[in-house]
């Protein structure tokens, strides 16, 4: 035991206090909303990386647009669009290494695709097909819809990666509403105790459905919560893809060196929370317009133009290709045989435990005795 380990004794209450800052802490930003930047601060990325990042941002937009249209036509379940968050989503996943994992919460289509999930499976997932919770050959854990529940699991996965000596991080993704749950707080605490290689990526899009950030927490930021759990916190302008990319690379280095990081990406959801939401009921047109002028695609484009990299990017044909990819994935999803009720039980565990097997058999026996029960089982239409 030493004075240092319990803290020095001081006769100044101020020195022994922690207070909330008056202002929100700053965001790491490299390219300004007007497109200007300091050349020396920009990370050195090759042309292919820039093109790849831009292409994935277009892909995110195409997936969002097409999913919402399918939902409106009755061919898709509820969908959560990432419009406005393209830089935040792609900058993060694009900066991860091949062996890194992500644990998504649903709004980040391009991140899942970058990490190897197939677009067909993403379509099936949002159609409610159980089988689509298995993402073979992708470093993606099943989308966590129940808010906060995935964070302790992500910490467990990261701990396992550490014990295995893997040179990789776990990227747990969530929104700014998630840290209000007990699960996130317990998970973060464990992460700090176990020094797991995890980056907690919080896309703070300022609203949890209709709840604004100021009503979500008394804290000025999510990143500052890191201190309470012995983690590092970083805040980044989530509409600046180069800042997100650079912050992610540095956060993963810290996580690999033994300090997990909460990386808070401050962004804005330009569309509805999901296809079930009407945002005009809780935010003003002026506010949305303010953010639309700070939209991430055009900011990245300004940078690429200024660097003479835009000439190598044919946006129209990229968009067309993304639509073709979507058409092919949709056709494959339409062809998928959703199977029977056994799908509900089959994929919960790698090897079905006797109790789950017993429940399955009991359910089957029940349906045999009461075929009228099928009238109450809703099967999502395949198309
Ligand atoms: C345990 C639980 N409670 C409630 C919900 C309903 N719900 C879905 S999304 C959401 C808000 C999430 O907000 P945030 O974390 O800010 O992420 P965002 O959707 O804004 O990206 C809520 C409350 C849920 N999915 N799970």
pLDDT digit string, tens, across residues 65-124: 999 999 999 999 999 999 999 999 999 999 999 999 999 999 999 999 999 999 999 999
Output the residue whose Cα is nearest ligand 1's atom 11: 208
Is 125 a residue of the active site? no
Distance 109 CA to ligand 1 centre (A): 16
The pLDDT assigned to 376 comes to 81
260 pLDDT above the threshold of 90: yes
Distance 147 CA to ligand 1 centre (A): 5
Per domain, the residue ranges of the chain are 21-335, 343-376
194 pLDDT band (50/70/90 cuts)? very high
Structure tokens at 140: 């993606």
The pLDDT assigned to 380 comes to 55
The pLDDT assigned to 45 comes to 97
196 pLDDT band (50/70/90 cuts)? very high
Is 299 a residue of the active site? no
274 pLDDT above the threshold of 90: yes
379 pLDDT band (50/70/90 cuts)? low
Tell if the pTM clears 0.85, that is, is over it: yes
Q: Which residue out of 149, 180, 181, 208 has the highest number of ligand 1 atoms within 8 Å of its CB and is therefore the one to mutate?
A: 208
Scanning the structure block, which residue is given the tokens 């004075």? Answer: 3
List the catalytic residue out of 273, 299, 300, 303: 273
Name every protein residue with a CB atom under 6 angstroms from any ligand 1 atom: 107, 145-147, 174-178, 203, 205, 207-209, 273
Q: How far is CA 52 from CA 18, 56, 94, 260, 296, in A?
A: 43, 6, 9, 28, 15
The pLDDT assigned to 382 comes to 45
Please give the mean pLDDT across all residues of the chain.
Answer: 95
List the catalytic residue out of 269, 299, 300, 303: 269
The pLDDT assigned to 262 comes to 98
Distance 203 CA to ligand 1 centre (A): 12
The pLDDT assigned to 378 comes to 65
Q: Which residue out of 177, 269, 283 has the highest number of ligand 1 atoms within 8 Å of its CB and is therefore the one to mutate?
A: 177
Is 282 a residue of the active site? yes
226 pLDDT above the threshold of 90: yes
List the catalytic residue out of 72, 134, 282, 349: 282
CB 124 within 8 A of CB 180: no
Distance 373 CA to ligand 1 centre (A): 32
| Mean predicted confidence (pLDDT) in 124-135 | 82
State the CATH architecture for 21-335: 3-Layer(aba) Sandwich (3.40)
Distance 173 CA to ligand 1 centre (A): 13
The pLDDT assigned to 246 comes to 98
The percentage of the chain sitting over the pLDDT mark of 70, rounded to a whole number, equals 98
pLDDT, tens digit (0-9, with 9 covering 90-100), for 9-40: 999 999 999 999 999 999 999 999 999 999 99
383 pLDDT above the threshold of 50: no
Distance 78 CA to ligand 1 centre (A): 13
Scanning the structure block, which residue is given the tokens 């003479």? Answer: 308
| Mean predicted confidence (pLDDT) in 190-210 | 98
Interatomic CA distance for residues 216 and 222, integer angstroms: 10
| Mean predicted confidence (pLDDT) in 198-222 | 98
Q: Which residue out of 88, 144, 147 has the highest number of ligand 1 atoms within 8 Å of its CB and is therefore the one to mutate?
A: 147
């Amino acid at each position: 035991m030493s004075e240092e380990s319990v803290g020095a004794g001081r006769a100044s209450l101020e020195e022994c206090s922690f207070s909330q800052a008056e202002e929100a802490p700053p965001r790491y930003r490299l390219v300004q909303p007007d497109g200007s930047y300091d050349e020396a601060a920009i990370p050195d990325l090759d042309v292919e990386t820039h093109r790849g990042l831009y292409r994935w941002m277009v892909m995110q937009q195409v997936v969002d647009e097409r999913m919402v249209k399918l939902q409106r036509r009755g061919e898709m379940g509820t969908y959560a669009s990432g419009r406005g968050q393209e830089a935040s989503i792609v900058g993060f996943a694009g900066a991860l290494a091949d062996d890194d994992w992500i644990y998504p919460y649903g709004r980040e289509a391009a991140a899942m695709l970058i990490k190897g999930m197939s677009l067909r499976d993403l379509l099936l997932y949002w159609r409610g097909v159980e089988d689509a919770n298995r993402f073979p050959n992708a470093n993606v854990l099943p989308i966590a819809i129940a808010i906060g529940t995935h964070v302790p699991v992500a910490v467990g996965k990261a701990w396992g990666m550490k014990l295995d000596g893997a040179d990789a991080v776990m990227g747990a993704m969530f929104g700014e509403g998630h840290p209000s749950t007990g699960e996130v707080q317990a998970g973060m605490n464990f992460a700090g105790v176990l020094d797991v290689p995890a980056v907690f990526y919080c896309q703070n899009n300022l609203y949890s459905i209709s709840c604004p950030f100021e009503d979500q927490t008394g804290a000025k930021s999510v990143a500052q919560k890191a201190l309470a759990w012995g983690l590092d916190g970083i805040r980044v302008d989530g509409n600046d893809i180069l800042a997100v990319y650079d912050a992610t690379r540095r956060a993963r280095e810290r996580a690999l060196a033994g300090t997990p990081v909460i990386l808070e990406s401050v962004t804005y959801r330009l569309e509805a929370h999901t296809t079930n939401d009407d945002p005009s009921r809780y935010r003003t047109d002026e506010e949305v317009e303010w953010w639309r002028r700070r939209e991430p695609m055009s900011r990245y484009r300004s940078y690429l133009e200024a660097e003479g990299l835009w000439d190598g990017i044919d946006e129209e044909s990229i968009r067309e290709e993304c639509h073709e990819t979507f058409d092919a994935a949709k056709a494959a999803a339409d062809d998928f045989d959703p199977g029977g009720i056994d799908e509900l039980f089959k994929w919960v565990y790698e090897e079905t435990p006797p109790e789950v097997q017993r429940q399955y058999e009991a359910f089957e026996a029940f349906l045999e005795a009461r075929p009228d029960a099928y009238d109450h089982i809703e099967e999502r239409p395949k198309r």
